[in-house]
Structure formats: C-alpha cells, structure tokens
Structure 1
Amino acid sequence: MASPDSVLVVGASAAGLSTVEALRRKDYTGTITVLGDELHAPYDRPPLSKQVLSGAWDPGRAALRTDEALSGLDADFVYGDPAVSLDAATRTVHTATNRELTADAIVIATGVRARWLPGTEGLGGVHVLRSLEDSLALRSDLQAGTRLVVVGEGVLGSEIAATARTLGVEVTMVGPQPAPMALQVGPMASELLATLHQDNGVRLRLGTGVVGLTETDGRVTGVRLATDEVLPADAVVVAIGAIPATDWLAGSGLRLENGVVCDSRCRAADGIYAVGDVARWHHEHFGELIRLENRTNATDQGAAVAGVILGDDEPYVPVSYFWTDQFDVKVQVHGIIHADAEVEIVEGDLSARRFVARYSKDGVVTGVLGWNMPKQVRQRRQDVIDGQSAAFASSLTGA
C-alpha cells in the first residue's frame, strides 16, 4: 500500500498532534495540514481543571509543544477556522472561512463539546470546562470568594470541586450518583473519594438530580434539585458529560452514532480515520464498538492511526487508562471497573489510603486501581492485559 501524498488532520488536539508526530517519526515525508477551531496551538486539557484553574500554572504552560517543536514537524497549522462540512467521497473539508481542503487521507480529531443544562448557556455565572478560555473564566469567578455548585459527580466535576476548595471557595457537589466518580471507579473507591471530599470541606448533595437553575437579572443565583430544594450559588459549573463534535459531519456519508463509527483500524471510510474522544471504533478484544474520553487514548490512538495510514494492518486494542488528582490523592485506573466486580486489595493497605485494588468479573481481571501507588499500579497493568487476552481467546473458541 502506497503512502498518501497528503494528510489533513481536522482538530489541533492532543490526538491530532499525536497523529502528526507519529507520521513524522515513521519517516512520512508527504504534506500535512492541521486544521484547528481554536486560536491556540495544541494544548493539554487535564491541567485545565487543576493547575490552570488553581493558578499554579500560567496558561501558556499547558501548551503541548513549543513553537520550535511544532515548526520542526513541517506541517501547516491552521488555527481559528472550524471545519463545517466533509465530502467523504472526494475527501474534501470546507471551513468556516470558506477554505476548501482536500487530502489523500483525512484524520478526524475534533474531540467533544461540553454538555450544558438545557436553557443555561449564556447565563451569567454558569460555566462548563472544556477550553482554556473556560478555565480562565471560571477562575475569574472563583477569585471573588464564590459559593460554587458543581453539577456533576464524574471525573471532571470531582476535580473542579477539589481545586475550588483549595482556593478557599465554598463548594457543593450535586449529581444523581451516590458518590464521586461512582460510575468510573465503583462503590469502594467512590466511597473513599466521598470521604476525601467531605474531609476537605466539600458539601456533597449526591443521589438526586438537578432540574434547573434560578437566576436574577441574567445571572445565576441557585441550583434547583429534584427535591425542589434550591442551593444558593454565585457560580455554577456544569460537568455532566460531553457530546462528540460531529455536527459538522452531517451529510458527509460517514456513520455517526455517539461519535464517528470506525472499524478496528479506526477507519471510518476509505482514506478517512478518527482518533481521540470523537472516535467510536470496533475493539476486537471486546467484540463491540467503544469510545474512550481520556488523554492517554488520544495519544495512543493517534499513533496507531498514523501506522495504519502508512500501511500497518493491526487492530487498535488498547487497555483503557485514566488518572485523576484530587487534593493529596492520585487515583489511576487501568482497564474497566464494573460496579458488580469482585474487588481484591493486592498491594498496600486500604486503611493507610495507599493501595492497589484488582477488579474481576466472571473470573477475569478487568481492571486495576491505584490509590497513591503509581509505580505499583503500573506494574499490575499486565494483569488486565492478560485478562483481556484470555477473554478474547475464550470468545474465539466459544468457551
């Protein structure tokens, strides 16, 4: 298979940058264009809810690469011009400023957009956190000694709540799940996170939904719960998940269902691929379509797709990995944690709050979680790889 003469990466994201860097590492010498909807060069998003929000980092420190490193990639970076349509048959992208970009291979890396509570976008004091500007706008509101309500108890909501408390802000976290990150880490670890947040002064109003916000003169004043109670708020962060950024692909001919649907090589159509948060691909070991929203997958998937573009024929079968830093705790998860999984502490001590837990379902290890034990949990990642491989082999034999 001949390498394409030109590659267009739509999305100046971590996944898009990883694709470009991997192409050059693999000695690709063709033309590369990177189209970004933001005015910024590629930057890292995990620090937005932590170091940038707290003020520990200057915003420029979130940049993924220096200007010199980007220049060394010999790629044309086009910023501030969102893609508005794609003709998959001709591999042509049209942009908001009427650019028309055609390439032999197109990589879709447009990520996700934050989900708002209905009718709240544009209301003063209400924030989402996806972009650098979002983080700086929220930080500005928090500097006034704000009463903050975080709507959402997932990874992002939990991190924002923790960061805001370190700034001395009065914080309440609300959401339908019983504990912070219950869907991501299961009952045992989420209960520990609940204790961690409460010990640090976060008020938890979990297990109930939010039905709307109250406002006066165009600015938020409170959060109304399903119980009809109103929590007073000077600022609100909505952290209730994200939506794959695929609106611009309507009518493209691609299959769009909770992301850009791809085969096991992350190929959406002939010469068109998807990477990162927007990609929903066939994971051969699981035998189903999956989509991952985490920083590690963005990097790994970009590198994998670069290989496919240049002729590799290997399925993308990663072990999912994410981490979160909250207060003085680092939680790391390899694999998948099912709510009904069997849990075993295999390193450290639960009472000392330094441990590695291994999670199994139907006798197969599906995930490991480290609580302030980064080296040890990394070593236990192999347990997940072995379990995933065993489950795949079993599915092939019908055992």
Structure 2
Amino acid sequence: MKFRDLSDLAFRNLREGVLRNSLTTLGVAVGVASLVAMLSLGVGLQQLASSRLAKSGLFDSIFVTPKTNLRRPGGGPPATRTPDARARPLDADARAEISHLPHVIEVYPQIRFFTEVRYEGKPFATMVAGMPESSKSSGAFDGMQGSFYSSPNADETILQAEFAKELNPQTASLIGKDLILRYAERQSLAAQPGEESSGGFSVVPKDMHLRIIGVVETEPASGFGGFGSGRLLIPLPLAETLRAAQVNDLRDILRDSSSDKPTYSSLTVRVKSPALVEATEARLKDLGFSAFSLLDASKSLRIFFSVFDLLLGIFGSLALAVATLGIINTLVMAILERRREIGVLKALGAADRDVKELFFVEAGVMGFFGGMLGTLLGWLIGRSLTLGTNLYLHRQNLPGVDISSVPWWLVLFGIGFAVLVSLAAGLYPALRAARLDPVQALRYE
C-alpha cells in the first residue's frame, strides 16, 4: 500500500472518531507543553545568568597580583620563601606592558578605600570604589536614577541606594547636591640608610567636594571582588589621582620590591572573549605575575544548568508519559471498533505490514499535531511566567527580565519527541491489529 493511501485512510479514520482522537491529541499537547515550558524556563534562566555575568566582565577578566616576597624587619632578604627571579612589581610600567599584550582590551586597578563622608554637616563612614569607563556598559547602571559621569576625571559620584537612603530617605532629592569626601592620602617616605627599598608611607588627611549625579539600586560588580563593597562610586581616573591609602597598603610595606614607583595591589585585565582568557593568563604568569580567572566558575555554571535542564525535562516528561497511555487506549479501542474493517483490508490483499503502518501513521499524526499545539502552549506558558515575574519586579521598582526562552531547537525537539513517543505508544496496538485473523475479523458482529 502506498504511503499516500495510508495517509488518506489514517486521516479518514481519525475524523470518524474526532472527539476521542482530539482528546488524545490534546493529552499529547499538554504533555509537550509541560516539557517545553520547563525546558524554556531552564534555557531562559541560563541565558539570563550567562548574559549578566558576561556583561559584568567576570568571565573575560583575569586578575593579576604581584608575586609575594615578604622581607624581614630592617629590610633584609625575604624570610618566608626564596625570591622568585621572575617576580616583578605591579607598577605603571607593568600595567602599560600588560595593556599591549595581544587580545587585551582593558587594564585597570582595583581602587577601594575607607572614607568619611560629610553631608549637611553629618558624618557617615563608607567605602569608596573607583569605576572604570567600561562599567557603564556592564548593565549595573541600567535603570539608575540620574546619569553616568560627565567625564573620566569629573568630581562626581554615584551612590549605592542603601547608602543614599542613609543620607536622605528621598534618594531622588540627593541628585545635584554636594558632599565632602574626607580621605587619607598616601605619601611615600624615603628609604632609611642601609635599606634598599622604600621605607613605607605616611598618611595625610585630605578633603574634596563631590557632586551627587546618580543613585544606583544594584551593587555594580566587575573584576575580582567586584565594586559591590563600594557604596560611593567615583570615576577610576579620579580615584587614581587621589592616591588614597587602601586596605592592602600595609602588605605593600612588607613586600620586597626594588621599585620606587607606586605599585598596585591588583589589576584587572579584560580580553576580547572568554576563549582567550587561558592563553592570556599563561602569558601573564610568564611575565612574572600571579594571575587567575573565573574559568572554572563558568564551567561549573554550565554543568549546573545542564543538570538543572535535565531535571526539568524529566519532570516535564511525566505528563507526556501519561499521554502515551491515552494513545495506547485510543488505538486499542479503535482495533475493537474496526475489526471488520481490518478483516476487509486483509481479505483485499493488505499485508500485516500495511495494517501496522496504518496504525503507526495514525499514532504519528496525533503526535505531530499534539507536538505542534503543545509547543505553542509551552511558549505561551513561558511568556505568561515572564509577564508575571516582570509585573512583580515592576512593583518592586526593579528592571524586568526574560526568564523564558524557546529557541528553534526546542521547537523541533518538542515536535520530534512527541512524534517518537506517539510512535512508541502505537507499537503495541499496531502489532495487535496486524495479528488479527481476517476470517475471525469478518465474522465479528
């Protein structure tokens, strides 16, 4: 029997039992909808997490620190380990050399320091962080009140929302106001007689006026440690000119270094893509620095979401497993109702293979249409979840997110999986129909 004849006959049989077959197809659709909705949620969350982390610059960043060689009191040789001949100070020359490495797009230091802020005569203790220009595109400032810095060296600041509320619960009224930043400026001391390196530094209190230009709800994060610990954010070039004493400065006194130039406790090196991180990291180590990245974290994230998607797929498949029982029931009942028809087909020369293929086509058709309808329903469920989530976030004054995604491969998977499951469900009824004796079938009724 030709496939076209089988298809025509299968569609005619399905139209005769339209209610029962429609309910069976709907059962398949519900199963596929639950599967697609679950997987679309997993895919959407994975894309959301990956895009946010990639936008923050964590996965394309390398964190560079100088190799630690501590010296004995009095400027003697390192006491804790043998000096590494390749160890180099992390100073301005090193920063310039790193910035010229292949695939490097940005090199900046991590600058954070404690400070006292005076606003309307009241003191507030907080942490200052320097923000590179690239942080504007990190997504952390999306939806902020106010604006970004007018220039890299502007005497302007952006406040983290929690700190802004300490200054004034009406955070919007802070924009355009001035505050006084009181910090400790670091000044190097000359080396003592008999010492090869600098004798440390002194601190001098300094004041400067900053204008508040924005309030950001979330804590920006970029680079090792992020900027999340900073509640008062200023442009990084401005922060570098202040030469403020930082928390790691005491460690710099103990570090054995032959350089008299100002050094950095750490640098963040950003490359063009995460695929170039490993090679650049090895190159930095060859230059005599300590370097590490979050590549392992990105791999762990992919493993987590793979397992998460698998579990969601298993739970979503349970409804489809129930739908297969409906297909088996529908086709078995069709055998009982069409025994005489099957007998006539065999009497006219139809082979057992033709009868099996007829039931396979009927099962496949129900699976195909159920898969198409189910994929559409799954997409609508995902959109509804996204809409509900965004309505809640909007009430909390938070930016919206897309937690569901149905890529093209998920559409094909949903339809294809429904057809395969339906064909598997039709296997027993097809074999049972093919084994019918035509004589007994014609005597039926």
Do Structure 1 and Structure 2 share a fold, with TM-score over 0.5?
no
Larger radius of gyration: 2
Determine which structure has greater relative contact order: mean sequence separation of CA pairs < 8 Å that are 6+ residues apart, divided by chain length: 2
TM-score by length of 1: 0.21
